[in-house]
Structure formats: C-alpha cells, structure tokens
Amino acid sequence: MPRPQLQRLRLDHAPALLAFERVNRAYFAASIPDRGDHYFAHFDTRHHELLAEQSAGLHFFHVLVGDGEVLGRVNLVEVSDGRAELGYRIAERATGRGLATTAVREVCALAAAEYGLHTLRAVTTLDNHGSLAVLARTGFTRTGEIQVDGRPGLRFVRNLEVPLEVPLEGGAP
C-alpha cells in the first residue's frame, strides 16, 4: 500500500472528509470536544467557508489521504504574526502507524518553508497519550497547564526556526 499523502484541503475532499468525520465521531469525542450535530448537518456550507478562510490566509487545512480516503487532518489555524495553532486527528483504524507524527512533521516543514511561520502552538488533554507522544516526537515543548473542555491539559510550543533533530534508527541522534 502506498504511503498516505498530506494534501492541502480542496473542494473535492468534501465527501471523503465528511465520511472520515462521521466514522470517527465517537472515537474523537473520547479525547477532544465533539463537533456537534450542527457541524454534520451543515458540513457543505462549513467546508466552503473553511476554503474561503484558507484562501484568505487565515488558516491552512490539510488532509492525510490514503487509498482515496481521508485518514487524518492536520490544520494550522489562527494564523497571525508568523504564528499558528496546530490541530490534528487521525482515524481510529489508522492509529499506531506513525501517521500523526509524520504528518505533523510535514506540516511543520510547510509552515516554515511555504507559509512563513516561525512558531506553532498546540494543546492537548493529559489523558490523550497519543497526542502527547506526537507533540514530544515533533519538537514541541510544554509551556503550561490549561483546561480543555473542562479537562486538564497542557499547552505546547514549537519554534520552527530551530531544526528538529530526528533520531536515527535504533534511537541514536
């Protein structure tokens, strides 16, 4: 099977993206706030709005596509003054394969090289062990505590001007 590809969100991603969100809704809601019924009822309208916001440079949305289906999302939102907030989600059936780590690394590279960003922020809940691991592996450092939808969480930051040292196979830098 070919390696999934990170793609900038487009209009034609809508059907596969909606299927991804529907199939994984309960899985995502266990660790992050649910999008709510309104999101699904008005998906097409919201998708067009997101694309317009992306065209205006307010956000950069990406999907991870493999075998014609969306396996994940990696987004940079609230873009301003060289900074943005990172958010990502991977389909339940695709977890544990390193896709989130790879996709976040790719988005960090895009953020610096193509979008002109120098700093990314991220938040996650303390019980989202997968997300905590992804942030650690992709060079984010903890900056403080936060409440995420009423649950304890952490804030993170990544300076994109500092190169990420990726360990070689076997763990040696």
62, 99 in Cβ contact below 8 A? no
Percent of the chain at pLDDT above 70?
94
> For residues 139 and 7, what is the distance between their CA atoms, to the nearest angstrom?
22
pTM here is 0.90
89, 28 in Cβ contact below 8 A? yes
| Phi and psi, residue 146, nearest 5° | -155, 160
Question: Residue 67 above 80 pLDDT?
Answer: yes
- Alpha carbon of 155 to those of 6, 23, 32: distances in Å? 25, 28, 14
| Phi and psi, residue 92, nearest 5° | -55, -45
The 60-66 sheet, strands edge to edge: 5-8, 60-66, 69-80, 83-90, 119-125, 151-159, 141-148
Summarize pLDDT for 68-79 with one digit per residue, the tens.
899 999 999 999
> For residues 39 and 51, what is the distance between their CA atoms, to the nearest angstrom?
15
Question: Residue 33 above 60 pLDDT?
Answer: yes
Instruction: Give the type of residue at 127.
Output: D
Task: Walk me through the domains of the chain, giving residue ranges and CATH numbers.
Answer: 5-159 (3.40.630.30)
pLDDT of residue 126: 93
